[in-house]
A and B are shown apart, each in its own frame.
With several copies, the nearest count.
Chain A
Amino acid sequence: MKAKVHVFLKPGVLDVQGKAVEGALNGLSTVQGWASVSHVRVGKVLEFDVAATTADEAKAQVKDMCDKLLANTVIESYTVEVA
């Protein structure tokens, strides 16, 4: 089964990358339109195969992986999709 995990910083936690990318998109470019980019958030995405018989089983496994390794739940939250 294919799993896809998105990890973002929790709301309220300073997203230094998002801030920097937004600044670059707004300020560095000479291209029309980029100035209008706002609310940039940068996160991580992981894709992998996981062996499981049902989607629910896979999802439970992947959540466990997120809690233990893939996300730092002190400052990050995650979403899991399996297909």
Chain B
Amino acid sequence: MTTTTAPKPKSMADYAAEFGLKPDEYQVILDRLGREPNYVELGVFSVMWSEHCSYKSSRLHLKKFPVTGDRVICGPGENAGVIDIDDGQACIFKMESHNHPSYIEPYQGAATGVGGIMRDVFTMGARPVALLNALRFGEPDHPKTKRIVEGVVAGIGGYGNCVGVPTVAGETNFHSGYNGNVLVNAMCVGLADADKIFYSAAPEPGLPVVYFGSKTGRDGIHGATMSSAEFTEDSEEKRPTVQVGDPFAEKLLIEATLELMATGAVAAIQDMGAAGLTSSSVEMAGKGGLGITLDLDKVPQREENMSAYEMMLSESQERMLAILKPGREADGYRVFEKWGLDAAVIGETNTSGRIILTHKGEVVCDLPLAPLSDDAPLYDRPWVEPKCEPELKLADIPAPANLNDALLAMISSPDMSSKRWLWEQYDRHVMADTLADSSTGHDAGMVRVHGTKKALAVTSDCTPRYVLANPYEGGKQAVAEAWRNLTAVGADPIAITDNLNFGSPEKPETMGQIVRAIDGMAEACRELVFPVVSGNVSLYNETNGVSIPPTPTVGAVGLLKDYDQRAGYNSLKAGQVLLLIGA
């Protein structure tokens, strides 16, 4: 086998550092391999061991979440969570962040965030039926905020509208803590038959591995490691090629994927998200306890002379990797041709327990799979109890001098003011099943389960101010608010997904926020029997060493058995009685 295509002067250890691997992590790689990795192999390690793919700082603490329940069909660990919504139907959902890309290029960053989360959902066999977004921007008068808000909102709308999935709810906050690091969390909810859920583990050796979707270009190389690295002023200059989303390709990809699944040809499937070809192939083979070989010459390529390294790390959008049942390639090609998608058989599963890549007739990567995922680093990072603000006593808060002024000040504040400008750019009605959306006066979005009297209620909640004041209580509150928003529309809350956005876990203060917020969320989830079925962690949200306010966003789904029983605050009439329930 050949070693490397990299320029000479730097050592592999230098590259390891450049790719974000710590010296001790690199030493583990050397120990496991018993040799130096080559450039491609190092690239594969660096993305698989990035915070984004390995959850190395958060994994220990995520274990505290309750993840099972009567209605849980599939909890965390797959592309998305799956819950039972009766009558043989399932709801599949997840939330994911696209924070760093959205700061660098707001439109494309937000758009590709929406695209990515939809793929996580339809890759499991669900048709996406609702989108939500949770946005945190800097102060309104910060010089960058206006451009970022406009770009992010246009990007979310531009992508979701074109694909044809209604964006029915969300939340938007402004805070100086996000001036240099905005948060864009997108959630997708889909519907599937409970007995037709697709998973990513390769089931047996000797099966064809099929690539389909858009071609691979040099987009966003090292996005996964970058999204796990702290921001500095000059990272705006050093940005990698930005990924551009093609929602039209995504729409075709949804239809083709669902059609392919219906033919019965699919044995396993996974979208190519962050670290595209690397994470999808490693995870599919690894989960199945198998091995995989890929011939990179077969990968559909958009640009000339792409190296193995570039192909393995490209984050080109709108791509899928499927493992087909024996001899079913023709079914695949028929579907791909109908929808005009690029596709190729690029490899095969085997029993080697390794990932072996060939390019231009040479083996360019030959790694055992286990160290890439199972043995990925796991950190019990030191943490300190976060400083909490003292509890506010009602008696200590002076009554406003003028109630009218106080009310006006409140409703005109950036967080409380109407977000109409924003959600009027989102198609909230496509699919013709929307019962409640951002405009209708309900605490949660609601979409009909097509063709039934059932409806799904969806909401996204977090009040970063509270979490900053007290991570434990703020974490609890986010879960509780999501629960209340669902019950307030008449739905039975079923389960949540979450998006944990924090600063650097290497700082004990921040790690303390992470730990305590998770403790609070887990506590609320247990008390409310509200399991966590999927989620995403986004760390290193910092600019020049200053962390964002801790922001553990909660996305929740509830079920209405009969949507005629739904409730809202849109039908209030003069003379009705107001009841205050709770403390």
Q: Which residues of A contact B (CB under 8 A)?
A: 9, 12-14, 16, 19-20, 23, 72, 74-75
Cβ contact within 8 Å between A12 and B218:
yes
Cβ contact within 8 Å between B248 and A20:
yes
Tally of chain B residues near chain A (CB < 8 A): 21
CA distance A75 to B241 in the complex (A): 8
In the complex, 24 of the A-B residue pairs with CB atoms within 8 angstroms, ordered by the A residue number, are A9-B244, A12-B217, A12-B218, A12-B219, A13-B219, A13-B241, A14-B214, A14-B217, A14-B219, A14-B302, A14-B316, A16-B248, A16-B249, A20-B248, A23-B340, A72-B105, A74-B104, A74-B105, A74-B239, A74-B242, A75-B105, A75-B108, A75-B242, A75-B244
CA distance A19 to B340 in the complex (A): 12
Measured between beta carbons, the chain A residues less than 8 angstroms from B302 are 14
Q: In angstroms, how far is the closest chain A Cβ from the Cβ of B304?
A: 11
Measured between beta carbons, the chain A residues less than 8 angstroms from B107 are 72
List the count of A-B residue pairs having beta carbons below 8 Å apart: 36
Q: A14-B244, A14-B316, A72-B105 are in contact. List 13 more A-B contacts (CB 8 A).
A: A12-B219, A13-B242, A13-B244, A14-B302, A16-B246, A16-B248, A16-B249, A20-B248, A23-B340, A72-B107, A74-B104, A74-B242, A75-B108
Q: In angstroms, how far is the closest chain A Cβ from the Cβ of B378?
A: 35
Measured between beta carbons, the chain B residues less than 8 angstroms from A23 are 340
Chain B: which residue is nearest A74 at the CB level? Answer: B105
Q: Is B303 an interface residue (CB 8 A)?
A: yes
CA distance A52 to B214 in the complex (A): 30
Chain A: which residue is nearest B243 at the CB level? Answer: A14
Q: Which residues of B contact A (CB under 8 A)?
A: 104-105, 107-108, 214, 217-219, 239, 241-244, 246, 248-249, 302-303, 316-317, 340
Q: In angstroms, how far is the closest chain B Cβ from the Cβ of A65?
A: 15
Across the A-B interface, give the 5 residue pairs with the lowest CB-CB distance, nearest first: A16-B246, A14-B244, A74-B105, A75-B242, A12-B218
Cβ contact within 8 Å between B340 and A16:
no
Cβ contact within 8 Å between A16 and B303:
no
Cβ contact within 8 Å between A12 and B246:
no
Q: In angstroms, how far is the closest chain B Cβ from the Cβ of A15?
A: 8
CA distance A9 to B217 in the complex (A): 14
Q: In angstroms, how far is the closest chain A Cβ from the Cβ of B242?
A: 5
Q: In angstroms, how far is the closest chain B Cβ from the Cβ of A67?
A: 13
Query: In the complex, which of the residues B218, B219, B241, B249 has the most CB atoms of chain A within 10 Å of its own CB atom?
Result: B241
Chain A: which residue is nearest B151 at the CB level? Answer: A72
Q: In angstroms, how far is the closest chain B Cβ from the Cβ of A39?
A: 12
Measured between beta carbons, the chain A residues less than 8 angstroms from B218 are 12
Q: In angstroms, how far is the closest chain A Cβ from the Cβ of B318?
A: 9
Cβ contact within 8 Å between B246 and A14:
yes
CA distance A26 to B316 in the complex (A): 24
CA distance A72 to B244 in the complex (A): 13
CB-CB under 8 A for A12 and B303, given A74-B105, A75-B105: yes
Cβ contact within 8 Å between B244 and A16:
yes
CA distance A12 to B303 in the complex (A): 7
CA distance A14 to B111 in the complex (A): 14
Measured between beta carbons, the chain A residues less than 8 angstroms from B248 are 16, 20
CA distance A27 to B340 in the complex (A): 11
Measured between beta carbons, the chain A residues less than 8 angstroms from B214 are 14
Q: In angstroms, how far is the closest chain A Cβ from the Cβ of B221?
A: 10
Measured between beta carbons, the chain B residues less than 8 angstroms from A12 are 217-219, 241, 303
Measured between beta carbons, the chain A residues less than 8 angstroms from B239 are 74
Measured between beta carbons, the chain B residues less than 8 angstroms from A20 are 248
Measured between beta carbons, the chain A residues less than 8 angstroms from B105 are 72, 74-75
Query: In the complex, which of the residues B107, B217, B243, B246 has the most CB atoms of chain A within 10 Å of its own CB atom?
Result: B246
Query: In the complex, which of the residues A12, A14, A23 has the most CB atoms of chain B within 10 Å of its own CB atom?
Result: A14
CA distance A19 to B214 in the complex (A): 11
Chain B: which residue is nearest A20 at the CB level? Answer: B248
